[in-house]
A and B are shown apart, each in its own frame.
Chain A
Amino acid sequence: MSDKAEATGTQEAVEVHHDEHEEHHAQSFWRTYVFSTDHKVIGMQYGFCGLAFLFFGFCLIATMRWSMAYEGEAVPFVGPLLEALLGNGVAPGGVMSAELYNVFGAMHGTIMVFMGIVPAAFAAFGNYVVPLQIGAVDMAFPRVNMASFWAFFFGCVIMMVSFFIPGGAAQAGWTSYSPLASVIPTDGQTYWLIGMVMLITSSLLGAVNFLATIINMRAPGMTWLRLPFFVWAQFITAFLLLLAFPPLEAAGILQLMDRVLETSFFLPTGLVVGGQDVDVSGGGSPLLWQHLFWFLAHPEVYVLILPGMGIVAEIIANNTRKPIWGYKFLVGSIVVLGFLAFIVWAHHMYMTGMGTVISAFFQTTTLIISIPSVIILTCLFISLWGGSIRFNTPMLFALAFLPMFGIGGLTGLPLGFNFSDVALHDSYYVIAHFHYVVAPGTIFAIFAGVYYWYPKMTGRKMSEYWGKVHFWSSLIFMNLIFMPMFAQGMAGMSRRMSDGGATYSLANPDNADVTVGALSDTIMGLNVSISAAAWAMLVAQLPFIVNLFWSVKHGEKVESDNPWQATTLEWETPTPPPHGNFNKEIKVYRDPYEYSVPGADNDFSPQAQPAK
């Protein structure tokens, strides 16, 4: 099934291909690589930005981990840089101030969620892979697609600029709770809101485009139940973005009004800040912000994880050489999941005093939503049974996703019950829980996807050896970082403390002997080991970064357009796919994962291959 054999199949197809090739080359460098409307170029732009921001967000937390482990000491290597760039008010002598810790904390969350994972998992893979997998020539609205990327880009620029303004970037956490966010005296909060409005606009344009593409651009024969699971995941994700993001945009506009025009949508009557009455009309509701925020931010969790699940499903099917077990269950579950994602948001708000009736409702829906999640995970696990598994790098990451996401999901149950959440709320337990979902969950899926689709993008494979080094070291350090946090959280350590809880521990009024902290030395000592693991994790990403760039020119060349011997349509294109993608008529005859079909010539029967 090589490119040549296919291309010479019909003379006409070759000519079409050549014409487009020339047209492609006739465009200037800027239109081809920067202001491109080609979904693949836009996908790679998103991917590059997303991975870069993931790394940058990780660097922020790696710096914060120093403050937690060795509070009050100058940060090695980056301390002088912080002082030079941000001024010695926030980093005197290279020591991280509590304000800077808050800045980094807020921006770590924002960058990882909105500028890292959403662009990398949803926008990058979605843009690159979805049109290929459904047999489309491009997205339905290529220019809207470009606008979406540039809205994202300018949103990121605004976020980055805010680091350097007087007062620094946002400090009120990625949740930006009012009244804190409304009265915090840095314009960084305002920049954050404007940046968010840009990022949301980008996501909305992207979501409209993805949905229109999947609904209207499927190749002949590509019925809904022949869509690869990855496309389904992207489809549901796009719906979540389309319908959940606008309320946050509304909330962002309202908070912007609070900050700029001194309204009081989220400021209650009689608000006192720093011992002084705030001169506003009052009458607002801090809870309103939380409702609007979490109405987005809970579906956002699924926006983060569903594309990851989709990627993992593709890779597991391909590397077990057998169909995904329970494809229809997967599709049904993900549709139900998408619906339920809209009615669980207030489980983030048990501690706000919104009332037991509301808590009971959201506790119930929260536990119900675990059912489709478990079905999806179970289907993927069962898919392994009886497969002849190929343990290549993408498969290793995909396999690791399963138990890691499982840990993240199961540890969420105590947080879903409001009686146990009372004890665990805002502790390190919560941090460990959601990081297990998104870090070894989604980020591993992103790595898996990069290793898996890299040969399609470049015509070369990434180094297997360094891929495995990257995988094993990441897996080990990931767990060394997050597993101890469960213990810290259950011991009572709160999040968002720049000294890692030292002051809190000693300030405990129940503790008569102030030389002994409320948190034991073992628990406090974990701060150091976690930090060390985080820095090791940072080093462990170097093989990946080098591998990513080095393999473009020096990786092992793939001999066919379908090096993994996969069934889905993206492997029917030339490598790398030209503008317009396919050089032949695409028609779909089969279900997405027809591996090892009895009686077939090969152990894989591509979707575009007619039945015998």
Chain B
Amino acid sequence: MEIPYTVKPRPDTGLYNGKLGIWLFLASEVMLFGALFSSYVLLRVGAEPGTWSMGLMNITVGAGNTMVLIASSMFVVLAWAELKQGNLAGYKKWKWATIACAVLFLVVKWSYEWPEKFKHYDIWLNDTKVLHGKFEKGYHATASREGKSAEEHVNGFYTKRFFKEESKLSNDNFDKAWTNGTLALQGHINAYEEAQINVEVTGWKADAGVSEADAEKVLAKLNAAGSATALLKDGGTVKEKVGYDEAKRAEYALGQAGFEVALRVEDYEKVPAHPWVWRTKRVNEDIGGKPRVRSIFLGLDHSDDGEGHHEEIEIETRHISRLSAFEPKHSTFFGIYYTITGLHAAHVFGGIIVMLYNMLPIGLALWHKDREQFTNRIETFGLFWHFVDLVWIFLFPILYIL
């Protein structure tokens, strides 16, 4: 059984099967990315003023990546052209160049563009007055919360500064900028004040089905601060000044052993925050009515003394209405940004796999068996690769510039 038109085009359609198949596949891809672009438009048009978080992308890096992809699109054609002339060595040269571009593109994404965003936080406050007089060096208004033009953005960036001196003018400007959405608090979370918790037991239920000996064993396992007999009888502090996770584990174990447990915040300790480990969830947790995290220390992005030194300010969590890194859940803009660029990156990654396959002996075997079929295979891949490139050419302006 021989399937026809795998190599030579069918005369009346002018296409060999692979080329026809890839065009049909690309048609469906157009619908896939088209739906995502349409979603982008609908979400952006429906966004409330000041909630479309554009203007934070590094345009230079994005533009560089665009050039890299365009170059790769050219290399993929050159590789095919070499094959058409029967030159396998030339094919390999250009194919490696294509692969190198694709890898470079992904490396920029993985090592710089996405991680940077996951390490920076955006903070919404209940009331701006808590920040009056907080700044040591100065703070720039940015246009990041509003889809303003690049020029206005720059103006805002360089003209408005708010200083520590608590003048009425400075404070008024600050509040105004906050209200109209041109001011945003953004930066690294350098450290936070986390609760130091005392785990206390207030009683022990003999009828809970746990024997005294077993309850004592649990206390021993937890390295209880007081004597086990006294704790069983009168209650008292089991653990002093422990972190949240340890306190929660102790609470669970003690509860299982029949104790009535209370967690009490004894003190707060300043903990350096690892930019990758910090997550916003902790801000919403509280222990016995007190916040788990009392305040955060924010290294401000847009503050400097003109020499690039960032400033750190302390903000109490009770003043924070929302806190989020520039991750997908930050806003619908970042949601769609990660979705589309992620899906695009998956296509680039898939492309790299296919290209590598066509460079290995297993893929090259076809060249030695049927040169024309192998050349066709590279051509169809090229069509796919141009499409991936084209998607990025649409992505770059709508996510970085417009």
Residues in A lying within 8 Å of B, measured CB to CB: 20, 137-138, 140-142, 144, 204, 207-209, 211-212, 215-217, 242-247, 249-251, 253-254, 257, 261-265, 269, 279-285, 288, 291-292, 295, 579-580
Nearest 10 pairs of A and B residues by beta carbon: A580-B1, A263-B335, A247-B35, A246-B32, A250-B35, A246-B31, A262-B329, A261-B328, A140-B17, A283-B332
Q: Pick the contact of B13: A20, A216, A242, A282 (CB < 8 A).
A: A216
B51 proximal to A (CB < 8 A): yes
Set of chain A residues within 8 Å of B343, measured between Cβ atoms: 253
Complex contact A216–B15 (CB within 8 A): yes
- A108, B48: Cα distance in complex, Å: 39
Residues A263 and B35 in contact in the complex (CB < 8 Å), given A137-B2, A204-B28, A216-B20 = no
Please name 12 pairs of A and B residues whose Cβ atoms are closer than 8 Å in the assembled complex, sorted by A.
Answer: A140-B17, A217-B5, A242-B24, A242-B31, A253-B339, A263-B329, A264-B329, A265-B39, A279-B284, A280-B329, A283-B46, A283-B331
Set of chain B residues within 8 Å of A207, measured between Cβ atoms: 24, 28
CB distance from B233 to the nearest CB of A (A): 39
CB distance from B33 to the nearest CB of A (A): 8
Q: Pick the contact of B10: A216, A254, A269 (CB < 8 A).
A: A216
B336 proximal to A (CB < 8 A): yes
Complex contact B328–A208 (CB within 8 A): no
CB distance from A118 to the nearest CB of B (A): 16
CB distance from A521 to the nearest CB of B (A): 47
Complex contact B330–A215 (CB within 8 A): no
- A284, B27: Cα distance in complex, Å: 28
- A261, B1: Cα distance in complex, Å: 49
Of all chain B residues, the one with the shortest Cβ separation from A281 is B331
Set of chain A residues within 8 Å of B230, measured between Cβ atoms: none
CB distance from B19 to the nearest CB of A (A): 9
B42 proximal to A (CB < 8 A): yes
CB distance from B126 to the nearest CB of A (A): 14
CB distance from B213 to the nearest CB of A (A): 34
Of all chain B residues, the one with the shortest Cβ separation from A213 is B17
- A580, B339: Cα distance in complex, Å: 43
Complex contact B330–A254 (CB within 8 A): no
Set of chain B residues within 8 Å of A257, measured between Cβ atoms: 328, 335, 338-339
Of all chain B residues, the one with the shortest Cβ separation from A243 is B31
Set of chain B residues within 8 Å of A247, measured between Cβ atoms: 31-32, 34-35
B36 proximal to A (CB < 8 A): yes
Q: Pick the contact of B32: A140, A144, A249 (CB < 8 A).
A: A249
Residues in B lying within 8 Å of A, measured CB to CB: 1-5, 10, 13, 15-17, 20-21, 24-25, 27-29, 31-36, 39, 42-43, 46-48, 51, 284, 322, 324, 327-332, 335-336, 338-339, 343
Complex contact B28–A243 (CB within 8 A): yes
In terms of DSSP, what is the predominant structure of the interface of chain A? Answer: helix
Complex contact B39–A250 (CB within 8 A): yes
Of all chain B residues, the one with the shortest Cβ separation from A579 is B1
Residues A264 and B335 in contact in the complex (CB < 8 Å), given A216-B17, A281-B330, A579-B1 = yes
CB distance from B2 to the nearest CB of A (A): 7
Set of chain B residues within 8 Å of A253, measured between Cβ atoms: 339, 343
CB distance from A217 to the nearest CB of B (A): 7
Complex contact A138–B3 (CB within 8 A): yes
Residues A212 and B35 in contact in the complex (CB < 8 Å), given A138-B1, A204-B28, A246-B28 = no
Given A246-B32, A285-B42, A285-B43, 16 other A-B residues pairs in contact with their CB atoms under 8 A = A141-B17, A209-B21, A212-B17, A215-B15, A216-B4, A216-B10, A217-B3, A246-B28, A250-B36, A254-B335, A263-B329, A269-B48, A281-B332, A288-B42, A292-B39, A579-B1
- A245, B34: Cα distance in complex, Å: 12
Set of chain A residues within 8 Å of B331, measured between Cβ atoms: 281, 283
Set of chain A residues within 8 Å of B338, measured between Cβ atoms: 257, 261
- A516, B329: Cα distance in complex, Å: 50
- A246, B30: Cα distance in complex, Å: 9
Set of chain A residues within 8 Å of B46, measured between Cβ atoms: 283, 285
Of all chain B residues, the one with the shortest Cβ separation from A581 is B1
Complex contact A283–B51 (CB within 8 A): yes
Complex contact B329–A261 (CB within 8 A): yes
Set of chain B residues within 8 Å of A249, measured between Cβ atoms: 32, 35
Q: Pick the contact of A265: B4, B32, B48, B335 (CB < 8 A).
A: B335
Complex contact B21–A283 (CB within 8 A): no
CB distance from B379 to the nearest CB of A (A): 16
Set of chain A residues within 8 Å of B31, measured between Cβ atoms: 242-247
Of all chain B residues, the one with the shortest Cβ separation from A245 is B28
Complex contact B1–A216 (CB within 8 A): no
- A251, B36: Cα distance in complex, Å: 8
CB distance from A22 to the nearest CB of B (A): 12
CB distance from A354 to the nearest CB of B (A): 12
- A288, B339: Cα distance in complex, Å: 16
Of all chain B residues, the one with the shortest Cβ separation from A241 is B28
- A284, B48: Cα distance in complex, Å: 10
Complex contact A263–B43 (CB within 8 A): no
Set of chain A residues within 8 Å of B42, measured between Cβ atoms: 285, 288, 291
Of all chain B residues, the one with the shortest Cβ separation from A142 is B3
Set of chain A residues within 8 Å of B324, measured between Cβ atoms: 281
- A144, B43: Cα distance in complex, Å: 36
- A261, B3: Cα distance in complex, Å: 45
Set of chain B residues within 8 Å of A251, measured between Cβ atoms: 35
CB distance from A18 to the nearest CB of B (A): 13
CB distance from B246 to the nearest CB of A (A): 25
- A20, B32: Cα distance in complex, Å: 41
- A20, B1: Cα distance in complex, Å: 7
Complex contact A215–B28 (CB within 8 A): no
Complex contact B1–A212 (CB within 8 A): no
- A279, B331: Cα distance in complex, Å: 12
Set of chain A residues within 8 Å of B24, measured between Cβ atoms: 207-208, 211-212, 242
Of all chain A residues, the one with the shortest Cβ separation from B46 is A285
Of all chain B residues, the one with the shortest Cβ separation from A292 is B35
Of all chain A residues, the one with the shortest Cβ separation from B9 is A216
Complex contact B28–A265 (CB within 8 A): no
| Among A216, A249, A251, residue most surrounded by chain B Cβ atoms (within 10 Å) | A216
Of all chain B residues, the one with the shortest Cβ separation from A253 is B339
- A141, B335: Cα distance in complex, Å: 36
- A262, B16: Cα distance in complex, Å: 45
Complex contact B28–A283 (CB within 8 A): no
CB distance from A339 to the nearest CB of B (A): 15
Set of chain B residues within 8 Å of A215, measured between Cβ atoms: 13, 15, 20
CB distance from A259 to the nearest CB of B (A): 11
- A480, B46: Cα distance in complex, Å: 47
